[in-house]
Structure 1
Amino acid sequence: MKVTTTLARSTTPDGEPLVLQEHDGHYFMKVAGVQLMSTNASSSEQTMAELGCSKMADKPRVLIGGLGFGFTLRRVLELCPADATVDVAELLQVVVDWNREFLKDVNGLLVDDPRVTIHMRDVADIIKGAAGDDRYDAILLDVDNSPDPLVQKGNAGLYDSNGITLAKAALKPGGKVVYWSANQDKSFERSLAKVFGNVESIGAKAYPKARRFTHTLFVARRS
Structure 2
Amino acid sequence: MKPFLLLATSHTPDGAELTLHSHDSHFYLRVNRQPLMGTNASESEKVLAELACAKLHGGTPRVLIGGLGFGFTLRRVLELMGPAAHVQVAELLPQVVAWNREFLREVNGALIDDPRVEITVGDVFQVISRAPGGHYDAILLDVDNGPVAMVQDGNARLYQTQGFSAITHALRPGGRVAFWSASTDHAFAKRLAKAGFKVETVAAKAYPQAKRCTHTIFVGDRK
What TM-score do the two structures reach when normalised by structure 1?
Answer: 0.97
The structural deviation recorded for 1:119 is: 0.3
The CA distance in 2 between the partners of 1:102 and 1:152, in whole Å, is: 23
Worse overlay, 53-62 or 24-33: 53-62
Q: Distance in 2 between matches of 1:26 and 1:74?
A: 17
Residue 67 of structure 1 aligns to which amino acid in structure 2? Answer: L
1:198 deviates by 2.1
TM superposition shift of 1:164: 1.0
Corresponding letter in the other structure for 2:39: T
Report the equivalent of 1:74. Answer: 75
Pair 1:221 & 2:221 matched: yes
Secondary structure at the aligned position of 2:55 is classed as: coil
Question: What residue is the counterpart of 1:129 in the other structure?
Answer: 130
Q: Does 1:150 align with 2:147?
A: no
The answer for the alignment partner of 1:166 in structure 2 is: 166
Deviations 1:30-89 (A, max 9, x none): 001111110010000000000001131410000000000000000000000100010000
Say whether 1:23 aligns with 2:23: yes
User: Residue 193 of structure 2: SS of its match in structure 1?
Assistant: helix
1:105-128 per-residue CA deviation (whole Å, 9 max, x = no partner) reads 100000010000000111111111
Q: What SS class does the counterpart of residue 110 from structure 2 fall into?
A: helix
* Cα distance in 1 for residues equivalent to 2:34 and 2:184: 18
Following the alignment from structure 1 to structure 2, what is the Cα–Cα distance between the partners of residues 40 and 218?
A: 22
Number of residue pairs matched by the alignment = 222
Greater Cα offset, 48-57 or 83-92: 48-57
Match of 1:62 in 2: 63
Note the 1:75-114 alignment, pairs <5 A: 75-114=76-115
Structure 2 stretches lacking a partner, 5+ long: none
Q: Deviations over 1:201-223 (max 9, x none)?
A: 11110001111010111000012
Measure, in 2, the Cα distance between the counterparts of 1:56 and 1:81.
10
1:128-167 CA-to-partner distances (Å, cap 9, x unmatched) read 122246x111100001112110000010111111111211
Structure 1: which 5+ runs fail to align? Answer: none
Partner Cα separation in structure 1 for residue 116 and residue 222 of structure 2 = 24
Matches within 5 A, 1:135-214: 135-214=135-214
Q: Within 2, Cα distance between the matches of 1:210 and 1:170?
A: 35
Could you report, residue by residue, the CA deviation over 1:162-189 in whole angstroms, capped at 9, with x for unpaired residues? Answer: 1112111111111100011101111111
Normalising by structure 2, what TM-score? 0.97
- Which shifted more, 179-188 or 64-73? 179-188
Mapped to 2, the partners of 1:160 and 1:86 lie a distance apart of: 25
Cα distance in 2 for partners of 1:196, 1:101 equals: 42
* Separation of aligned partners in 1, 2:101 and 2:177: 28
Measure the CA separation in 2 of the matches of 1:131 and 1:119: 16
* SS in structure 1 of the partner of residue 97 of structure 2: helix
Q: How many percent identity over aligned positions?
A: 57
